[in-house]
Amino acid sequence: MVAGEASGDLLAGLLMGGLKARWPGLQSQGIGGPRMVAQGLEAWWPSERLAVRGYVEVLRHYRGIKAIRDALGDRLLAERPTAFIGIDAPDFNLGLEARLKASGIRTVHFVCPSIWAWRGGRAKTLSRSADHVLCLFPFEPALLREHGVAATYVGHPLADAIPLEVPRDAARQALGLAPAETVVALLPGSRRSEIETIAPTLLRAAAELARRRQGLRFVLPVVPGLRPTVDAALQGVGEVPGLQLLDGQSHRALAACDLTLIASGTATLEAALFKRPMVITYRMNPLTWALMKRMAYQPWVGLPNILSREFIVPELIQERCTPQALADEALRWLDQPARGDALAERLTALHLQLRQNTAERAADAIAEVIDA
């Protein structure tokens, strides 16, 4: 198994629970993070070694990442596992899967690459790489079948893990937040590069919100190992009144908050499953952004908007990502509670659609691949 970042580690950790229930003697090795290790993965490399996003950023780390992929492929070809499961990270995993598949090792890719959003040519790569694709979203299998790729809709494991009824009061009590306080969660991403690029803007937006509205509380979950990066961003920004840094606990922060300012990625789906109003944002290297924007097939970046096929929550991307604009959109949510209630109804329907007992359905699909 290979997961390339914190979100992949989270998905894989949930998946591994279903695999172990079906195969109690399961042995797993590869690349993963703390959640996969907790489920029994023997991690040959930590997932953070692959946590790089963007064309320009990847180029800086290309040689090291390629060396890991080559060494991992050699080891897997020598040991010949029953199956290989690549969790997201398509730029790393699909090439590795193609090599393994060509040698007769069964390959499964968990999370369909977003060919419906950009880089549709990866569908051909998928057909060469994966014996089967496990899809998070219901429209994906039919799209993949058009390209000759076998696929199963398994739902999203986060929809199973996150309760339909948000435990707001318990989360606030655990974080020492009063029931009546207005709480804003700041989620700048899970990669070091994201925190370096996005966290300063979110912190400045929080400072602007604190200036414009007294008594706000802010919580910022910090990914394990990245506290120095967050501290450096905070030092550059200065004091943010009412700010509380958390050791992880992103789900508790989302359950407790009234609103989140959040970097685009899997975390936006988590926020949607917690039925929270949000302002989605992102910044990246300007050259990377120019290339990605040119290849985009649709106007949305955030998963709640993509799945809804409309802007149900605001997106402030790249040059539009400013502290002032983030503060403006945050106050719009806080000043219009009925808007937040309407959003919660839509997000509840989305939650029900994605809740499919993913671990069991995925294990069934993997069993068919192994027995084929």
Residue keyed to tokens 């719009």: 332
Is the whole-model pTM more than 0.85?
A: no
**Alpha-carbon torsion, ordered 153, 155, 157, 160, to 10 deg:** -140
What is the CATH number for 35?
3.40.50
Task: Report d(CA 156, CA 185) in Å as an integer.
Answer: 23
- The CA–CA distances, whole Å, from 351 to 140, 160, 237, 340 equal 17, 9, 36, 16
* H or E, element range at 184: strand 183-187
The tokens describing 48, both together, are 């953070």
Q: Is residue 212 part of a domain?
A: yes
Task: Report d(CA 114, CA 297) in Å as an integer.
Answer: 10
Rg from Cα positions in the chain: 20
38-47 tens-digit pLDDT: 999 999 998 8
Q: Is residue 162 part of a domain?
A: no
pLDDT score of 274 more than 70: yes
What mean pLDDT is predicted for residues 163-184? Answer: 97
Q: The domain containing residue 114 runs over which residues?
A: 2-155+356-371
More confident residue, 371 or 70: 70
Same domain (yes/no): 102, 187:
no
What mean pLDDT is predicted for residues 165-182? Answer: 97
Q: The sheet that has 151-153: what strands, in order across it?
A: 42-46, 29-32, 2-3, 83-87, 106-110, 132-135, 151-153
Task: Kindly report the average pLDDT of the chain as a whole number.
Answer: 91
Burial of 145 (0-12, 13-18, 19+ CB in 10 A): exposed
* H or E, element range at 351: helix 337-354
Task: Report d(CA 188, CA 190) in Å as an integer.
Answer: 7
Task: Report d(CA 201, CA 113) in Å as an integer.
Answer: 29
Phi-psi region of 20 (alpha: psi -120 to 50; beta: other; left: phi over 0): alpha
Same domain (yes/no): 328, 250:
yes
pLDDT at 86: 96
Tell me the pLDDT band of 297, cut-offs 50, 70 and 90: low
pLDDT at 47: 86
Task: Report d(CA 227, CA 282) in Å as an integer.
Answer: 20
Percent of the chain with pLDDT over 90: 74
pLDDT score of 279 more than 60: yes
Q: Which of 64-68, 143-147, 258-262 has the highest mean pLDDT?
A: 258-262
Task: Say if residues 262 and 268 touch (Cβ distance below 8 Å).
Answer: yes
pLDDT at 175: 98
Q: Is residue 138 part of a domain?
A: yes
Number of structural domains found in the chain: 2
303-352 tens-digit pLDDT: 999 999 899 999 999 889 999 999 999 999 999 999 999 999 999 999 99
* H or E, element range at 294: helix 286-295
Task: Say if residues 171 and 284 touch (Cβ distance below 8 Å).
Answer: no
Q: Is residue 45 part of a domain?
A: yes
pLDDT score of 81 more than 80: yes
Task: Report d(CA 163, CA 91) in Å as an integer.
Answer: 32
The SS3 of residue 62 is helix
Q: Is residue 334 part of a domain?
A: yes
Tell me the pLDDT band of 55, cut-offs 50, 70 and 90: very low
Same domain (yes/no): 360, 265:
no
pLDDT score of 295 more than 90: no
More confident residue, 170 or 193: 170
Task: Report d(CA 215, CA 241) in Å as an integer.
Answer: 9
Same domain (yes/no): 99, 176:
no
Same domain (yes/no): 181, 276:
yes
